[in-house]
Structures are given as C-alpha cells and as structure tokens.
Amino acid sequence: MPPVVSEIPLLEGEILYSLALFEDKLGFGIDAVIGHYKKCIELLPQNPRALHNLGNKYRSLGLEKEATVSYQRALAADSTFTHSAANLAVSLIAQKRWKEALRATRSKVPADHQRPSKVPRGRKLHGKLPHLN
C-alpha cells in the first residue's frame, strides 16, 4: 500500500537524513552532507538527530555560533538528548561563553540516562559493525 499523502514529507525527511549519514560516512563533500541535513530539517524541524548532526558538521568547520544554534534546537526538540547538551557546552566553551556552558552542563537529564550501564543502542552495535575504509 502506498504511503498516505500526509506521510510523504516525513518519509522524504527520513530519506534525506539517511542520505546525509551515508554521504558523511563515505566521505562525500561536506557541502552535500550539510545540504541534506538542512533539507531534512525543513521537512522535519523537530528532528533532534538531524539538528545535532548538523551542529557537528558546523563545529567541524569552526562555525561555533551555527553549531550552538543547532544544538539548542536539538535540545528544544528533545531535552533528553544528552549528546547535544554535551556538544552545546563544548561549543559554548569554544566561544568563551563560560556561564552558558556551565548551565548547559547542568541541564536536567532523566535519571535513566545517567546510569553508566545505560548505553545507547548504537554504541552497543558499533563494535559489531565493519568499518568502511
């Protein structure tokens, strides 16, 4: 059964997200990767993963202000996204915005995310996946 018309932007956004991930892993140009994350975010503005990864790409280019905005948007979409909270703090430190960085490190994280035994599923799988060279 074909997708319902209202689901098409969601599907397209997820495809763009996946495309950006694969392009990044395969070493495609950073402009293409950033472009696909941006298009994904246009369709799915509350996708914390795309916002977080876009922030990472900006940081890799030294664009700390843009990275900060992306991490803040990711946290606005999902306040439990601890990777964005950590990267936000690092980005703020790079900008010498000390007080804001300190506040970012003190953001509320649900108790089940604080236990060391709670490893995100992707990290458990990471060691089992072949590396692309």
For the chain, the distance separating the N- and C-terminal CA atoms, rounded to the nearest angstrom, is 38
Please indicate whether residue 132 or residue 29 has the higher confidence score (pLDDT). Answer: 29
Is the residue at 17 inside a domain?
yes
Is the residue at 115 inside a domain?
no
**d(Cα 125, Cα 129) in Å, to the nearest integer?**
7
Is the residue at 121 inside a domain?
no
**d(Cα 62, Cα 85) in Å, to the nearest integer?**
18
Is the residue at 61 inside a domain?
yes
Is the residue at 133 inside a domain?
no
Is the residue at 125 inside a domain?
no
Is the residue at 91 inside a domain?
yes
* Segment 46-101, tens digit of pLDDT: 999 999 999 999 999 999 999 999 999 999 999 998 999 999 999 999 999 999 99
pLDDT at residue 106 in the model: 78
Is the residue at 132 inside a domain?
no
Among 108, 62, 65, smallest CA distance to 85 is for 108
pTM, whole model, 2 decimals? 0.76
Name the residue range of residue 54's domain. 5-107
The CATH number for 57's domain is: 1.25.40.10
Checking if the pLDDT of 19 tops 80, the result is yes
Q: How many domains does the chain have?
A: 1
Checking if the pLDDT of 108 tops 70, the result is no
